[in-house]
Every structure is written in C-alpha cells, then in structure tokens.
C-alpha cells in the first residue's frame, strides 16, 4: 500500500480558557495546527496533526512545519505507508516536529486498512482510560486557587501547577492550590524556568508538601545535578527529545518522563522511547505540544497501550480549544481519556472545518 496523495491543512485553535502562561513570561493564546491527510493507492485515508506550542516552548515553530510540508509531501508520494518514518528521515535531517503529522497519518491509514483501532497496533489496551490533568498557569495565588477548584469541579483530579519563576511566589501559588483542592494530585512544572539555586530554594521551602517535581531547569545537566537534592519524585519533559535522553534520565534516577509526540517526531519514535522507558522502569506520560481531536486521539491510543503500572497521565487537548477537527473521542467523565473505538485513530475528520488546503500533492494522479 503506497501513498497516492498528501494534502496539508492549517487550523488555528484558540484556547477556551484564556492565555496559557509559562515561566519566563511565555504566553500563548492557542495552537497553530498542521493537519495532514494521506490517501493510499488502495483508497484508504489517514489523518495526522501537529502543533507546536508557540515559538518558545520547544525548538519548533508552526512556520517551520509549513515550510517543510511540501518537501515531505513530495517525498512521500509513492512511498510505502509502512515505511513513512524511514522516508521522512531520509528526506529531512532533524526537524522531528515537522514530520510528526505525516507519521501519525500513516499509522491512522495502517489501522484503518487493518480494521483495528490504533492501540491494537501499539501493544493493546491496558485498562479503560488514562488519567487526565489540567494546567494551572502562573498567576496570583487566589486566581490559581480558583482555577484549580474549577478544574476539580469539572472532574480533573490531577493538576499541573506552573512554577519556574520567583521561588517565593511559586511556593505561595502551590500552597494556595493545595488549600483549594486538597484531594488533587499535583505536579509542579517549572518548564525549565529555574536556575539550580532557585529550584533548591523551592524544594527546601516545600519539603513537607505533596507534589511531583517536573522539569525544574532547562538543561539535562542541571536537572540531573539537582536530582540528588530532591527526595520527591522527579520527572522530565522538555529534556526528553530522543531515546538517548530517556536512557540518560533513567541512569540518573529520574522517576518518569513525558514523551511529546511532536518533539520526538511522530508515533513511530514515541513508541520506541515509550517501550524503552517502560523497560527501564520509569513512569511514562505520552502527550503532545498541541492540537485538537486528531492529535488527542493519538495521545489516547499511545497512552492506553502503555502498561497501566507505568502510565502516568495525559491531556485532552480537544477540550482546551474552541474549535474541533473531528469526532470520535468518548466523553472524558471522571477525568479519564478513553480511546476512540473506530479503526486507526478512530476520528471522523471535519474536512470542512479545515478550510482550503495549504498544500496538495498528487491530486491530479
């Protein structure tokens, strides 16, 4: 089964809950999403999606993906669907985020052709769903507490508190959230915003509080040096871009990693890193840097096929944004993300919601 047509769309996806505020003054208002449709010579469709989070979250930006899309589309024409990851890597060095939607679309097509939901190709479902978390952006403590209470009332039992600025202010935000939602499980995510000294100060001031520390500093070296100072569980996110990063983290006693599908380059490398991380004994979160229904479905399938004993949590990005690009995801009652039941990703895509294609390769063949 070979690829006969590649069509690329662009969808802007504003955040439903207002600006997303990270350490370092980073603010984003929504996702700028590349949506890819593959059609095979057997007439099977496959869909994929990728959106970086602005320009300052990862070494990725939407314009880069749209610039790479015609080059990758041309290379994929005539390529075996099963070999898409290899074709992408042979065409463009690096730029994993630019490849992610194409790789995802190939997996969707393979699942549809096989008549199986994607998780059956990725290890099989273990359990019914994956715990969802929501992020509490950096703000005044009262505002953070109010947002935490709102999310808890909406069924989310796991919350990510954004930190990574002034350690004293971050401590106040954490204490306010803990007081507002004492039964929630908390992660404090600095998004690499702290110097090691800031992180040690925060750790000392909050030693008695229950939370998991996430990505305190920017570099792998800083985070691994900090590991000895943190008795509590510590996970890395932005530092995990390759399999080698995951192995290095495991060797240093890091408890868990977050694999972002776009950051590593699609479902193919995500699966490799996920399975290695599980074998190394780490907790694993599979999520992504942005997107709506198509991308959320990919997170749902990868997450549910991660062994439940090693599965941490994920996100329901389709509920973060004001627009949809398909239907098929079950309700997230109880703060759980369940995978669609259909074949492949299991999403019926709203083609009309995507507007005119920004690129179309093979349309006349």
Contact (Cβ atoms closer than 8 angstroms) between residue 364 and residue 159: no
Which is nearer to Mg ion, 62 or 161 (by Cβ)?
161
Which is nearer to Mg ion, 106 or 230 (by Cβ)?
230
CB of 237 to Mg ion, least distance (A): 4
> 35-74 mask for Mg ion (x: CB under 5 A)?
----------------------------------------
Contact (Cβ atoms closer than 8 angstroms) between residue 237 and residue 214: yes
CB of 258 to Mg ion, least distance (A): 6
Q: Would you call 147 a catalytic residue per the annotation?
A: no
Contact (Cβ atoms closer than 8 angstroms) between residue 264 and residue 273: yes
Which is nearer to Mg ion, 35 or 190 (by Cβ)?
190
Which is nearer to Mg ion, 289 or 325 (by Cβ)?
289
> 184-223 mask for Mg ion (x: CB under 5 A)?
-----x----------------------------------
CA distances from 35 to 8, 83, 190, 220 (A): 6, 20, 30, 31
Applying the rule CB under 5 A, the residues between 232 and 261 that interact with Mg ion are: 237
SS3 3: strand
Q: Would you call 93 a catalytic residue per the annotation?
A: no
CA distances from 87 to 250, 267, 297 (A): 30, 14, 24
d(CA 16, CA 154): 14
Q: CA angle, 264 as apex, 263 and 269 as ends, to 5°?
A: 155
> 135-174 mask for Mg ion (x: CB under 5 A)?
----------------------------------------
Residue 15 pairs with which residues in a beta bridge?
321
d(CA 206, CA 171): 7
Q: How many residues sit in the footprint of Mg ion (CB under 5 A)?
A: 2
Applying the rule CB under 5 A, the residues between 275 and 304 that interact with Mg ion are: none
CB of 254 to Mg ion, least distance (A): 13
Which is nearer to Mg ion, 46 or 192 (by Cβ)?
192
Q: Which of these, 19, 17, 53, 16, lies nearest to 33 by C-alpha position? A: 53
**Closest residue to bound Mg ion by CB:** 237
Which is nearer to Mg ion, 170 or 189 (by Cβ)?
189
Catalytic position from the list 93, 99, 147, 162: 162
CB of 215 to Mg ion, least distance (A): 5
d(CA 180, CA 38): 47
Which residues lie closer than 8 Å to 226 by C-beta, 6 or more apart?
Answer: 196, 199, 200, 216, 217, 234
Which residues are tagged catalytic?
A: 162, 260
Residues of this chain that interact with Mg ion (CB under 5 A) are 189, 237
């Amino acid at each position: 089964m070979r690829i006969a047509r590649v069509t690329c769309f662009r969808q802007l996806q504003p955040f439903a809950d207002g600006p997303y505020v990270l350490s370092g003054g980073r603010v984003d208002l929504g996702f700028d999403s590349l949506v890819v449709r593959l059609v095979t010579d057997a007439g099977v469709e496959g869909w994929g999606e990728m959106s970086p989070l602005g320009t300052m979250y990862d070494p990725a930006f939407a314009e880069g993906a749209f610039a790479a899309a015609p080059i990758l589309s041309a290379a994929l024409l005539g390529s075996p669907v099963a070999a898409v990851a290899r074709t992408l890597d042979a065409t463009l060095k690096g730029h994993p985020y630019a490849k992610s939607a194409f790789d995802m679309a190939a997996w969707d097509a393979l699942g549809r052709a096989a008549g199986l939901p994607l998780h059956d190709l990725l290890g099989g479902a273990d359990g019914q769903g994956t715990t969802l978390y929501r992020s509490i952006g950096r703000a005044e403590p009262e505002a953070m507490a109010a947002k935490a209470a709102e999310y808890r009332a909406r069924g989310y039992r796991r919350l990510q508190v954004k930190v990574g600025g002034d350690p004293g202010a971050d401590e106040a935000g954490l204490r306010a959230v803990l007081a507002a939602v004492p039964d929630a499980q908390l992660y404090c995510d600095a998004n690499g915003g702290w110097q090691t000294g800031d992180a040690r100060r925060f750790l000392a001031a909050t030693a008695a509080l229950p939370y998991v520390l996430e990505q305190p500093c920017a570099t792998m070296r800083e985070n691994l040096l900090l590991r000895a100072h943190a008795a509590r569980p510590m996970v890395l996110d932005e530092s995990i871009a390759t399999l080698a990063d995951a192995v290095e983290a495991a060797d240093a006693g890091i408890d868990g990693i977050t694999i972002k599908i776009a950051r590593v380059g699609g479902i193919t490398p995500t699966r490799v890193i996920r399975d290695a991380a599980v074998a190394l004994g780490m907790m694993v979160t599979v999520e992504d840097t942005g997107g709506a229904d198509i991308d959320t479905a990919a997170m749902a399938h990868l997450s549910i096929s991660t062994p439940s004993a090693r599965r941490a949590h994920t996100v329901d990005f389709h509920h973060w944004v004001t627009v949809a690009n398909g239907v098929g995801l079950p309700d997230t009652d109880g703060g759980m993300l369940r995978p669609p039941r259909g074949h492949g990703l299991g999403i019926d895509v709203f083609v009309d919601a995507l507007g005119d294609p920004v690129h179309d390769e093979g349309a006349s063949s």
